[in-house]
Structure 1
Amino acid sequence: MTFYTEAQVRAEGRRAGSLVHGGVQEALRKSARFDQYDIFLSHSFRDAEVILGVKKILEKTGRSVYVDWIDDAQLDRSAVTPETANLLRTRMNQSLSLVYAHSESSTTSKWMPWELGYFDGHRSGQAIAIMPLVSSASARPSGQEYLGLYPRIEELQSDGRQVPYVVRRPAGILEWKSLADLGRATSSFRRIVNGR
Structure 2
Amino acid sequence: MATFTEAAIRARAQATTVRVQKTATAILEQASVSLPTEFDVFLSYSSQEQSEVILGVKETLKDYGLTAYVDKFDDPNLAPDNVTKATAETLRRRLRQSKSLLFLHSENSNVSKWMPWELGYFDGYRSKVGIFPVTKNVLSKYVGQEYLGIYPYVGNAKDRSGQERLWIWETESKYAVYNEWVKDNDKINER
- TM-score, normalised to structure 1, is 0.86
Q: 1:177 to 1:143 in 2, by over 3 A?
A: closer
Cα contact 2:2–2:140 (8 A) shared by 1? no
Cα distance in structure 1, aligned partners of 2:144 and 2:126 = 23
Q: Quickly say closer, same or farther: Cα 1:149–1:185, change in 2 above 3 A.
A: farther
Separation in structure 1 between the aligned mates of residue 98 and residue 151 of structure 2, nearest angstrom: 18
For 2:118, what is the secondary structure of its paired residue? helix
Q: Which residue of 2 aligns with 1:67?
A: 70
Q: Tell me the number of residue pairs that the alignment of Structure 1 and Structure 2 aligns.
A: 187
Among 113, 116, 137, which residue is 1:113 paired with?
A: 116
Distance (whole Å) between structure 2 residues aligned to residue 103 and residue 174 of structure 1: 25
| Distance in 1 of aligned mates of 2:154 and 2:139 | 16
Of residues 101-110 and 30-39 in structure 1, the stretch that sits farther from structure 2 once superposed is 30-39
Q: SS of the residue aligned with 1:90? A: helix
Q: How much does 1:139 deviate?
A: 9.0
C-alpha RMSD over aligned residues: 2.0
Which stretches in structure 1 are left out of the alignment for 5+ residues?
none
Q: Does residue 153 of structure 1 match 2:154?
A: yes
- Note the alpha carbon deviations across 1:148-190, whole angstroms, 9 max, x for none: 1111001112343543211121xxx422212222332523212
Q: Is the Cα contact below 8 Å between 1:176 and 1:189 reproduced in 2?
A: yes
**Which piece of structure 1 moves more, 38-47 or 182-191?**
182-191
Alpha-carbon distance between aligned partners in 2 of 1:161 and 1:180, rounded to the nearest angstrom: 14
TM value normalised by structure 2: 0.89
Equivalent residues of 2:142, 2:153 under 8 A apart: no
1-structure distance, mates of 2:168, 2:140 = 19
- 1:4 shift after superposition: 0.7
Identity across matched positions, percent: 37
TM alignment of 1:17-28, pairs within 5 A: 17-28=17-28
Q: Distance in 2 between matches of 1:185 and 1:79?
A: 37
Q: Matches of 2:23 and 2:40 in 1, distance apart?
A: 25
Distance 1:57 1:142 in 2: 21
- For the structure 1 residues 163 and 52, does the alpha-carbon distance in structure 2 shift closer, same or farther, using more than 3 Å as the test? same
